[in-house]
Structure 1
């Protein structure tokens, strides 16, 4: 059996950028098993040496060379990390030199620009959007005038995590509305949503997957019965079809993919934070 390959995401900041890019790269090698670890805030030589020892030990224990996906901007820290003997992958290296040539200026080695609080207005917009998503979750507040997006679907179809993602990464005020038993029986959108048709996006899900999710939340209840899941999904999809709403199945779709599809469909262009 092929040994599990240790992978380290190393950064002088949060490590989110290194981990995001690194994860995308590793998914291209589905036949290899990886054990990943993130070491953030490696911003001093002592921390770099400590990280290098940790990386080397992991490689010796696994019997294979570790992979180090690095976003440290300080060359000295990079040199110290390389003493780990790991395969060093600098996520900025392929892009910095071409950009320096094109822009006619050297890069500025500043830490925390990607995920630091460098733009206070944008940061507060993101926090406000997050508060909006939480207070408008599951139809708790029915005032949708300030909503940019309203996700509609049966309970546990993926509305809440998608709203939170849109708020956190795009600063978008996203609300969600769970179709109730009364809504499903009426076979049409509730009155409170009809005035916001241009903001609506429908989410559906395979009943088998829905039943699994609901069973974890409320085991052996009517809410989690397969008949209930099949009926609710069928009724919701019928409403979406009658109301001519764009609908997406979340069964095998990630939050990132759902969010991208929603933004594209509703014509919302927002830079990711």
Structure 2
């Protein structure tokens, strides 16, 4: 069915902080309903009664305009603000309360009910580690800086435009993983060897590949009608890179049908890195 023909429901993502947590959770839940289009409206930093009253007005207006009560995903922790939101014409889903109440009963301790506690990291070691990892990945993108590769947690290799850069940055931003990435080029295939720069760090290498047809599409967006983007060239480079990775015993996967999240999870598992959130 054409996506434009699907029925639409409005979803409000309400948080007393940035809204990252509520967005992540709601996306996971709503992805299970492919017969409905969801229009998401973000309401971050709802941390006062005044802001909550404004939110109620918006939600009620939406209900009147659409004829349906909006779905509210909430990570609010202030009880007064939450109760005020519940007075709106909506379907209210309390993400934190659903789990926190059960945990309180199980362990015999009350929660802190602190606003934005999951993101209070501006002065923490985790936050500094994440910033360091992002800077490292940016400076070691596409083999542009080869010093300090010994400090890399993982080095992604593969042909140009196969997904190395976005995967590196995702690993850095989400997990504080220092991920460098290094291109495999036709010169490497002619020499039939890995680039000398990364040979000493073979245990840190993980390969990315991609279907030649998809690679050609991506490259044509960057350099249309070039030899670099031809299907023939893409087939050659992908074939040679996969041969090299198999010959060198380097774990690899195809990124063609996988999300950045799936790719990153596989990298962490294969290299044996910690999945601790940054």
Question: Which string of whole-angstrom CA distances, capped at 9 and with x for unpartnered residues, describes residues 179-203 of structure 1?
Answer: 1221122232111111111100000
| Other-structure match for 1:224 | 229
1:79 to 78, 83, 92: 83
Indicate the SS of the match to 2:11.
strand
Q: Residue 185 of structure 2 contacts residue 237 of structure 2 at CA under 8 Å; is this kept in 1?
A: no
Give the drift of 1:2.
4.6
Give me the TM-score of the superposition, normalised by structure 2: 0.94
In 2, the alpha carbon distance for the partners of 1:2 and 1:268 equals: 42
In 1, the alpha carbon distance for the partners of 2:160 and 2:103 equals: 47
In 2, the alpha carbon distance for the partners of 1:99 and 1:119 equals: 28
Give the drift of 1:270.
3.6
Indicate the SS of the match to 2:39.
strand
Indicate the SS of the match to 1:12.
coil
Alignment of 1:235-250 (within 5 A): 235-250=240-255
In 1, the alpha carbon distance for the partners of 2:190 and 2:83 equals: 65
2:188 aligned with 1:189 = no
2:171 aligned with 1:160 = no
Alignment of 1:164-183 (within 5 A): 164-183=169-188
What stretches of structure 1 of length at least 5 have no aligned partner? none
Q: Residue 3 of structure 1 contacts residue 63 of structure 1 at CA under 8 Å; is this kept in 2?
A: no
Indicate the SS of the match to 2:118.
coil
Give me the TM-score of the superposition, normalised by structure 1: 0.96
2:266 aligned with 1:269 = no
In 1, the alpha carbon distance for the partners of 2:41 and 2:19 equals: 10
| Other-structure match for 2:238 | 233
2:133 to 129, 137, 144: 129
In 2, the alpha carbon distance for the partners of 1:51 and 1:156 equals: 43
In 1, the alpha carbon distance for the partners of 2:223 and 2:135 equals: 27
Q: Residue 187 of structure 1 contacts residue 238 of structure 1 at CA under 8 Å; is this kept in 2?
A: no
Alignment of 1:88-127 (within 5 A): 88-117=92-121, 120-127=124-131
| Other-structure match for 2:265 | 260
Alignment of 1:7-18 (within 5 A): 7-18=11-22
Give the drift of 1:119.
5.2
Q: Which runs of 4+ in 1 moved over 3 A?
A: none
In 1, the alpha carbon distance for the partners of 2:224 and 2:266 equals: 32
In 2, the alpha carbon distance for the partners of 1:189 and 1:99 equals: 51
2:215 aligned with 1:210 = yes
